[in-house]
Structure formats: structure tokens, C-alpha cells
Amino acid sequence: MKIGIVCYPTYGGSGVVATELGKALAAQGHQIHFITYSQPVRLIEYHANIFFHEVVVSEYPLFQYEPYEVTLTSKMVDVAEHEGLDLLHVHYAIPHASAAYLAKQILKEKGINIPIVTTLHGTDITLVGKDPSFEPVISFSIQHSDAVTAVSESLKRDTYKHFKTNKEIKVIPNFICLDKYKPLNNCSRGAFAKESEKIIMHVSNFRKVKRIEDVVRIFRKLRSHINAKLILVGDGPERINVEHLCRELEVYNDTRFLGKVKNVEEVLAFADLFLLTSEHESFGLAALEAMAASVPVVSTNTGGIPEVNIHAKTGYLANVGDVESMAKFSLEILTNDELCVQMRANARQRAEEFSLEKILPAYMKVYEEVIKSK
């Protein structure tokens, strides 16, 4: 198949999933065309079946806001027509699903019928998308996609709750490439903590929705019981506030801000505990990545997280903002070696249920169905 993948190229989960999906499909012999505004961050190595088409937005003094969607739509039309794509798979509804709808109409006029698969990821529905300034366009584009998938049951429910659509939504959970997650790499660990110190880790795009201040507050509570270091991976708008809070709570010297890390599995390998304190999370790919690295997860119980992290098995869950419980659960794992070993094994075992090999056929089935009924 020749598949066009439209996604955000950045460190967000939707871009990561889209890129890993494209790479896996390319490895199976399909031809993949990424269409986005810069090279996806996880698209590092060269592959003969992978092509990247950059969407370059032109500046003009009249535009206060450059019309990205228009350029993106034109690029989709161009690539579909000249590369002979069989389908377009768009990740994150805004603005990819509506741009794809328009591209489909333009291609129809040219006698080309191309199916559109839309994958909903989270904030495109739960945070940004449901805003009245987006809602009519998102409802329309969901309704008129040839197939729609969501990354969790929770996101599927949220979509029906917030949007006017009766379109069938198929849940295809996010997946993980397990091969990348190797056993503990102890030599690098020493760069971050002493042998006697525990390593607490959080990975995110540092947006408000992640509630990283709760991570810092949990860490401060832990630090009064055990020797530990906090490693914060990622970057984004909240970083400056988080740094400020670390200084205010006097944990800055025990905290390392790593910034954006391309191969996150290399640092997850030496974590003892992963914290995910989000206000909302439609899946929680970061938690799954930690679990693949055999790291127990203490998280909030919001959105799709309970579909990934299992309470008292792969870690613990608590209500959003319940720093007290999350600190108590974390301490339980970090001070009980037997429990920790068991949870590490459970976390890895659970992650194996989301392996690429198990999830990829579900996407292939969707592709085959839309192509058959076009």
C-alpha cells in the first residue's frame, strides 16, 4: 500500500505514534509518505520506503496568521495525486481531519477517490477540540472521515459526549516497539544518582494539563523519607514554573531537567518509579513507555490511564491532585523491594499486551476495509 500519514512532527504522543506506525508499516514493505511541517522527531534513520513531504507555509504581510491548513491541503492533494496514494491517515483531528476532507473533495474533482482515516488522540477532543470555536468543524470532519479510530475507550466516550456525530469509532490502543526497551543500563545511571538513591522520573511536553507541580510536590514528600533524585524529561511552557517551584520547595539540587530526549528508552532504563499526574490523559503513552522499560507507574486515574496502568499491579492510581496518596503509593513501591520487583515484572508484562505486533494488524484491517469500500 501507499499511505500518506499526516501528523504533528513534535514530541507529543500523537506524532510519536504516527511516526512509529509509519516506520513499522514501511518495514513491512508499504510505502509511507509523511506530510507535515518538519521532519518528525522520531524519524531518525533512513528507510527506502519512507518519504517526507514538508509543508512550507509562505509569509505575506497581509497574514496575521499564516493559513497552514490551506498549504497542508494542497500538499495532501499533490502527494496523493503524484505518488498515487491508496489512503490518507491523519493523526490528531485539528486541523488535519478537516484539511483531509477538503483534499478528498479536490481529488474527487480530479477523478481520484482517496479514503481518509482519522485517528483521535486526546486533546484534539477533550481540551482544544470541544471548544465551541472548533466543535462544528471537528464534528463534521469526524462524521465525514471514511474511518475513525480513537486511542482508548475513554476517548471514544468523550468524542460521543462532546461532538455531534454517530460515526462508528474503532478503539485501537497505542502501541510500543518493545525491542527498543533493553534491560537496565547501569553505567549511565551513575551520572544521575548514587547507588543508594532512587530515581523518580517524569516525561512530558510540560503543558499545564500534566500538572507537573504535583510531581514536584510528591517528590518533596518522598525526599523526606528516602534518598532520591527527580529526573524531568521534556520541555514546554510550564518548565519555567516547575523550575521555580523546585527552588521554592528546596528540591532543585536533587532535580535534573534533561530537556527533550530523542531516545527516551535510554533514560527510562534507569528509573525506579514513573510519575504521571495529568489532569486528563486520553491514553498516557508516556506511562506505557515507562512500563515497557519495566518501571512501575504511579498515576492519576483520569481518562484512558486506567486502561493502561493497573492499580496495585503495574503501579497505583489516585484521584487528580491527590498528592498525598500518590506520595504514599510511591513510597510503598520504593521501600518494599519484593513489591518493587513484582511490579516491575507486571509493568513489563502489561506493556507486552500493547506490542506493535499485536496492534498493527488492527490498523491494517481498517486500511483494507476503507480501500475495499471506496
Residues that bind ligand GMT (CB under 6 A): 12-15, 17, 92, 121-123, 126, 151, 174, 205, 207, 209, 280-285
Query: Measured from the CB of residue 265, what is the shortest distance to ligand GMT in angstroms?
Result: 16
Q: For residues 205 and 294, which CB has a smaller minimum distance to ligand GMT in the complex?
A: 205
Nearest to 269 by CA among 226, 314, 233: 233
CA distance 71 to 82: 16
Query: Measured from the CB of residue 116, what is the shortest distance to ligand GMT in angstroms?
Result: 18
Do 101 and 141 touch, CB atoms closer than 8 A?
Answer: yes
CA distance 26 to 253: 44
Query: Measured from the CB of residue 113, what is the shortest distance to ligand GMT in angstroms?
Result: 28
CA distance 133 to 126: 14
Where does the chain show beta strands of DSSP type E? 2-6, 31-36, 50-54, 87-91, 116-120, 147-150, 169-171, 198-203, 228-233, 255-259, 273-276, 297-300, 315-318
Query: Measured from the CB of residue 244, what is the shortest distance to ligand GMT in angstroms?
Result: 22
Q: For residues 296 and 303, which CB has a smaller minimum distance to ligand GMT in the complex?
A: 303
Q: For residues 13 and 22, which CB has a smaller minimum distance to ligand GMT in the complex?
A: 13
Q: For residues 286 and 326, which CB has a smaller minimum distance to ligand GMT in the complex?
A: 286
Cell of 334: 520504593
Query: Measured from the CB of residue 7, what is the shortest distance to ligand GMT in angstroms?
Result: 9
CA distance 205 to 12: 7
Q: For residues 86 and 158, which CB has a smaller minimum distance to ligand GMT in the complex?
A: 158
Return the SS3 of 301: coil
Task: Region of 86 please: left (phi>0), alpha (psi -120 to 50) or beta.
Answer: alpha
Q: For residues 86 and 289, which CB has a smaller minimum distance to ligand GMT in the complex?
A: 289
Torsion of CA 71, 76, 82, 88, to 10 degrees: 170
Q: For residues 13 and 315, which CB has a smaller minimum distance to ligand GMT in the complex?
A: 13
Return the SS3 of 44: coil
CA distance 15 to 358: 20
Query: Measured from the CB of residue 127, what is the shortest distance to ligand GMT in angstroms?
Result: 7
Query: Measured from the CB of residue 257, what is the shortest distance to ligand GMT in angstroms?
Result: 18
Q: For residues 106 and 209, which CB has a smaller minimum distance to ligand GMT in the complex?
A: 209
Q: For residues 141 and 282, which CB has a smaller minimum distance to ligand GMT in the complex?
A: 282
Return the SS3 of 242: helix
Spatial CB neighbours of 136, under 8 Å, sequence gap ≥ 6? none
Return the SS3 of 107: helix
